[in-house]
Amino acid sequence: MNKVQIRHPWQTAGLILCAFILVSCGTPPATEQAIVLPASSPTGEVATNTPAPQGPAPSMENVIPRPVSVTPAGGTFFLTAGTGIYVDPGNDQLTAIGQYLADHLKPSTGFALLVQPAAGAPASGNIYLTLKGADAQLGAEGYRLTITPDLVTVAANQPAGLFYGIQTIRQLLPFAIDSSSVQSGPWAIGTGTIIDYPRFAWRGTMLDVSRHFFSIRDVIRYIDLLAYYKINRLHLHLSDDQGWRIQITKWPNLTLYGGSTEVGGGPGGYYSQDDYSYLVRYAQSRYITIVPEIDMPGHVTAALASYPELNCNGIAPQLFTGIDVGFSSLCINKDLTYDFLADVVAEIAALTPGPFFHIGGDEAQATSIPDYKNFVDRIQAIVQQDGKQAVGWEEIAQTKLLPGSIAQHWNPGEGFASQAVQQGNQVIMSPADLAYMDMKYTPDTQLGLDWAGDISVQKAYSWDPASQLAGVNESSILGVEAPLWSETLLTLNDIEYMAFPRILGYAEIGWTPQAGRDWNGYQLRLAAQGPRLEALGVNYFAAPGIPWPTK
Ligand code: TNX
């Protein structure tokens, strides 16, 4: 391993920042694996009714994100080999959700629970997922979970609510439920009622697959972990100076050449359009919307190196494997730039069912302000023509935003996001000094950067998105996103270490009403998640000071 010192210029905050990063070879390219979604039908034999085992259920108070309301009743429901999962008839989405639950319960219980249609509440001993009888108060993503000694019922207005109710059920079972091998049980769930719905519509995280490339296998593992905590947006940073990671059929060199390396000079990689579609579908099956980002007009060396004609002077720069920012720009006054972008946006938009397209827009120090404004006007129009809402880092709010465009606040030293609100647009909150998961936990953390300061687990949790920026309050906030930049991250293990456990806190900030959150209670709930993360094999940072039961 080489130890490399790199300068990170910081124009907007007026700071010069330094970072040490460890560089070695990168992750393998993604195109080779064929990953199969979980089986769509149960494979096991019909379960027989076994006598209910006895044993304690975990506290209902330990769910993360903390539900809106929890009312324990003091009894117990036992999941047994005879438990069936019943869903409303004639709805494929509900059958798939039921099967997802069965698939997740099978490895540790050894039970092959059957998913079956039911016109009404099933007999005693079963789980019932229904779109009937939910209150309007639950909205599109909320659920009501009712557990009696006889029945577990999740009622929601939309399938998403049932999916989130299932995540809660998983967390109400003993932590061994998350083990990948058969455990002895008993599988007890405390009785009571949970009423739950999210504070914000956007509960996201961003993964930078450009600075270092991560395989489809890595990303779907991450998606599965995000779903457990009810995160519903995965923003993929698909291009930057160091690498272009998504195939564009009309511009093949973007990936063939522009995707061929990464920070530190490793082999890079890219997603074929089939790979990307697979990821999108996989995320969809976990109620997660993929938000693709092509960063522009800066952060474009990989593109400029792949096509000389995109450069104002017609000369391609070298590929870039360092971590400086703010030095590259598309050629703003060339028509070809917009032909190129029209192709890129059209191809990605066609592969992306979600309504969002992220245009980057950050750190465009190599673009003049008038050029920047002109550029953002034109790219917003292109994105809208392809039927998507533009999302951009908050610098885009210096320009006239189209209705529906969204600004992402990241720079604690700037107030651009409030300009978006003044224009009637919404904001996603990702303040770097609180929400950047690539910041070190402590000065001793080996991975990560620290230009925005260290972010302890407590600091990551203890902020309210609605009291960060003057003029940006609850109603103008679409939600919260925790970005994970990958300058120093080479493997899935690295991703997990920086994201976990901080991301549980971000999930709760996005979901739970502010009045329902406090650090003292959260610490205890987080501690109780430790054994779950271990059962899931997550390489999390066991932050000192948290009362982890197993440490
Ligand atoms: C700033 S935040 C960046 C990224 C870097 C990150 C490292 C933002 C919109 N741009 O280009 O990767 O810092 O923490």
| Residues 322, 262: Cα–Cα separation, whole Å | 8
CB neighbour burial string for 109-123, b if at least 16 within 10 angstroms, e if fewer? bebbbbbeebeeebe
Question: Cα-Cα-Cα-Cα dihedral of 429, 433, 438, 443, to 10°?
Answer: -160
384 CB neighbour count, 10 Å cutoff: 17
Residue closest via CA to ligand 1's atom 7 equals 485
Residue closest via CA to ligand 1's atom 12 equals 485
Ligand 1, residue 452: give the atom nearest the CA. 14
Active site residues: 363
pLDDT-based confidence at 413, cuts 50/70/90? confident
Residue closest via CA to ligand 1's atom 11 equals 325
Ligand 1 pocket member 436 (CB < 6 A): yes
Distance 485 CA to ligand 1 centre (A): 7
- Provide the pLDDT for residue 56: 78
pLDDT-based confidence at 37, cuts 50/70/90? very low
pLDDT (tens digit, 9 = 90+) per residue, 320-339? 999 999 999 999 999 999 99
**DSSP label at residue 71:** E
Ligand 1, residue 408: give the atom nearest the CA. 9
| Residue of higher predicted confidence among 80 and 9 | 80
pLDDT (tens digit, 9 = 90+) per residue, 274-318? 999 999 999 999 999 999 999 999 999 999 999 999 999 999 999
The mean pLDDT value of the chain amounts to 91
Ligand 1 pocket member 540 (CB < 6 A): no
- Provide the pLDDT for residue 21: 30
pLDDT average, residue stretch 54-77: 91
- Cα dihedral across residues 292, 294, 295, 297: positive or negative: negative
- Provide the pLDDT for residue 48: 36
- Could you give the C-alpha distances from 32 to 215, 262, 270, 282, in angstroms and in order? 9, 19, 11, 17
Ligand 1 pocket member 200 (CB < 6 A): no
| Residues 448, 490: Cα–Cα separation, whole Å | 11
9-13, 54-58, 256-260 — which one is most confidently predicted on average?
A: 256-260
Q: Give the range among 34-48, 383-397, 441-455 with minimum mean pLDDT.
A: 34-48
Residue 20 has pLDDT above 50, yes or no: no
Ligand 1 pocket member 325 (CB < 6 A): yes
% of the chain at pLDDT higher than 70? 90
- DSSP assignment of 333-385, as one string? T-HHHHHHHHHHHHHHHHH--SSEEEEE----TTS-HHHHHHHHHHHHHHHHH
Ligand 1 pocket member 362 (CB < 6 A): yes
- Best residue among 485, 487, 488 to mutate for probing ligand 1's pocket (most ligand atoms within 8 Å of CB) is 485
Ligand 1, residue 411: give the atom nearest the CA. 2
- Provide the pLDDT for residue 52: 41
For 352-474, where are the alpha helices, taking DSSP H only? Answer: 369-385, 416-422, 432-435, 457-461
pLDDT (tens digit, 9 = 90+) per residue, 446-486? 999 999 999 999 999 999 999 999 999 999 999 999 999 99
3-class DSSP state of 445: coil
Ligand 1 pocket member 449 (CB < 6 A): yes
Q: Give the range among 33-47, 297-311, 413-427, 450-464 with minimum mean pLDDT.
A: 33-47
- Provide the pLDDT for residue 10: 31
Q: Give the range among 30-44, 213-227, 251-265 with minimum mean pLDDT.
A: 30-44
Ligand 1 pocket member 485 (CB < 6 A): yes
Ligand 1, residue 410: give the atom nearest the CA. 2
Ligand 1 pocket member 393 (CB < 6 A): yes
Token look-up 């392809």 returns 386
Residue closest via CA to ligand 1's atom 5 equals 485
CB within 8 A of 155, min separation 6: which ones?
130, 131, 132, 133, 134, 143, 144, 146
Residue closest via CA to ligand 1's atom 13 equals 485
pLDDT-based confidence at 36, cuts 50/70/90? very low
Distance 366 CA to ligand 1 centre (A): 15
Let me know: does 151 contact 77? Beta carbons within 8 Å.
yes
- Provide the pLDDT for residue 415: 78
Let me know: does 19 contact 487? Beta carbons within 8 Å.
yes
- Best residue among 301, 363, 449 to mutate for probing ligand 1's pocket (most ligand atoms within 8 Å of CB) is 363
Residue closest via CA to ligand 1's atom 10 equals 362
Q: What is the separation of C-alpha 491 from the centre of its chain, rounded to a whole number of angstroms?
A: 17
Ligand 1, residue 323: give the atom nearest the CA. 12
CB within 8 A of 464, min separation 6: which ones?
509, 514
Residue 519 has pLDDT above 80, yes or no: yes
Let me know: does 413 contact 389? Beta carbons within 8 Å.
no
Question: Cα-Cα-Cα-Cα dihedral of 25, 27, 28, 30, to 10°?
Answer: -150
- Provide the pLDDT for residue 551: 55
pLDDT average, residue stretch 423-440: 98
Strands (E), 88-186: 115-117, 126-130, 143-147, 151-155
Q: Give the range among 37-41, 301-305, 486-490 with minimum mean pLDDT.
A: 37-41
Q: Which amino acid is at 545?
A: G
Residue closest via CA to ligand 1's atom 4 equals 485
| Residues 226, 330: Cα–Cα separation, whole Å | 34
**DSSP label at residue 208:** E
| Residues 396, 394: Cα–Cα separation, whole Å | 5
